Amino acid sequence: MNKIWLIIQREYISRVKKKSFLVMTFLVPVLSMGMMALIIYLVAKQDDLCDKKKVEVVDESGMFRNKLKSSGSIEYSYSADNYATAKAGLLKSGYDYLLYVPGSITGVQLFSEKKASALTIQNIQSALSDIAQSQRLVSAGIDTAVLAKAQRPITLDAKQITESGEKDAQTYVAYAIGFISAFLIYMSLFIYGAQVMRGVIEEKVSRIVEVIISSVKPFQLMLGKIIGIGLVGLTQFVLWIALSLALSTVAGTVMMSKSTGNITEQVAKSQGVSSAQLSQASATQVQENGTAKIMKSIESIPVAYTIFCFLFYFLTGYMLYSAIFAMVGSAVDNETETQQFMLPITLPLVFTFIISMNFIINNPDSSLSIWLSMIPFTSPIAMMIRIPFGVPAWQLAISMMLMILGFLFTTWVAARVYRVGILMYGKKASYRELAKWFMYKE
């Protein structure tokens, strides 16, 4: 056990002291927040950033004349020319598109020199449909204002009934927690599992392993390497979460103060008072409302329970897959040769992650979701999707027990291959060769 502990210390300290670890630990949260801010900015300012498309309209029906309203992305102009003349002169007219509406309003066409974007087609089509629908309703003697009022959507407030009473379901919060947890585990299994495999290959190729196993058993070396790198990953995750929360708090405070200042200034102008008189009251109200919503969402989430489950599935999932990655690393001489083994290893993860985002997250209690959360190779992702929606205790207990048994079995199999493969050089491994190594006696 002391030898395993020394290997763990070596793997952990050597990686934590690397500049790449420190840079990525502090850079990833900053880049993530910056990317999110950039995406939000681009979405909010897309009309200002994109060139406005000029559309020349030839309306033979007369239904749409002076009714197509220009927006931030599209500017409509009604042509005095007929269809043939407008179409012939489109390339020299300065317009991006020619919209032709025949008298029968069937076979509406959009012409352009370049291919029209899907968003432009959708916007124009939606505008035409709304106007045509309104015209038909008016022709039928239906008051469009009454119809719009009747079609007003209903807001649904989802509640859960528990033994302690009713509470807010917070479905969207569960969606977010499930997705983020599953995504973090999905990425960590690839990143840190690959680090284990790469470390084994480097030691094997450099022949350092020959010296190391003269003092420790191959199983001790493999287990120490897996645990050491796993602790590195856990440390990095904790720092990422802490830094992300700190940056989010700062960014939220700044944005709240700016939005509060803008709202205060507008209200002050409308009421004829100074913004200073409204600033403190407005800021207090915004802060109280925001804090109340956040606290309400947090109260609906069993934080300690969720963190415990995340750490359990992160560690056991990592241990299970890292043992397999270590086995693959011991069987090859370079990373190029690992490709033949990677698909069977990563396929369960990729399959589960894809189906989780479409099926499990919307059907967390289905038979397929339950089975995927039980199988050790798929449960780290599937179960973390289900946990925010509530998982029966017996299902969670069985899943955790199978995860532990799966890890122990996988480690035992990987260790039997590792003890032989780590000393093999120059021989291209195959699945049949791995089976032979597994059957070798001590």
pLDDT at 398: 94
Q: How far apart (Å, rounded) are the C-alpha atoms in residues 194 and 354?
A: 21
Alpha carbon distance 212, 203 (integer Å): 9
Intra-chain end-to-end CA distance of the chain, in Å: 20
Q: Could you tell me how many residues make up the chain?
A: 442
Report the alpha-carbon distance of residue 160 to residue 169 in Å, rounded.
5
What is the mean pLDDT for each group of 10 consecutive residues in the chain (442 residues)?
80 84 82 80 68 83 83 81 82 84 83 83 87 82 75 72 66 80 86 82 73 74 82 82 77 62 52 51 50 54 83 89 85 75 85 88 89 92 89 92 90 81 71 76 65
Maximal C-alpha separation, the chain: 93
User: How far is the C-alpha of 399 from the C-alpha of 396, rounded, in Å?
Assistant: 5
Query: At 75, phi and psi to the nearest 5?
Result: -120, 120
Alpha carbons 389 and 177: distance in angstroms, whole number? 10
Strand partners, 55: 76, 97
Q: Are 272 and 346 in contact (CB under 8 A)?
A: no
Pairing verdict, β 74-78 and 97-101: unpaired
Q: Specify burial of residue 359 (Cβ count, 10 A radius: 0-12, 13-18, 19+).
A: middle
Residues ≥6 apart with Cβ < 8 Å to 421: 327, 330, 331, 429, 434, 437
pLDDT of residue 278: 47
3 state DSSP class of 145: helix
Residue 353 contacts residue 363 (beta carbons within 8 Å): no
Take residue 3 and report the two structure tokens written for it: 């030898």
Q: Specify the CATH class of 51-143 in words.
A: alpha beta
DSSP state of 374: T
CATH 3.40.190.10 residue spans of the chain: 51-143
Check residue 254 and give its pLDDT: 65
Q: Cα dist. 255→221, 258, 274, 293, 379 in Å?
A: 50, 5, 22, 17, 39
Predicted model pTM: 0.69
List the beta bridge partners of residue 165: 162
pLDDT of residue 288: 47
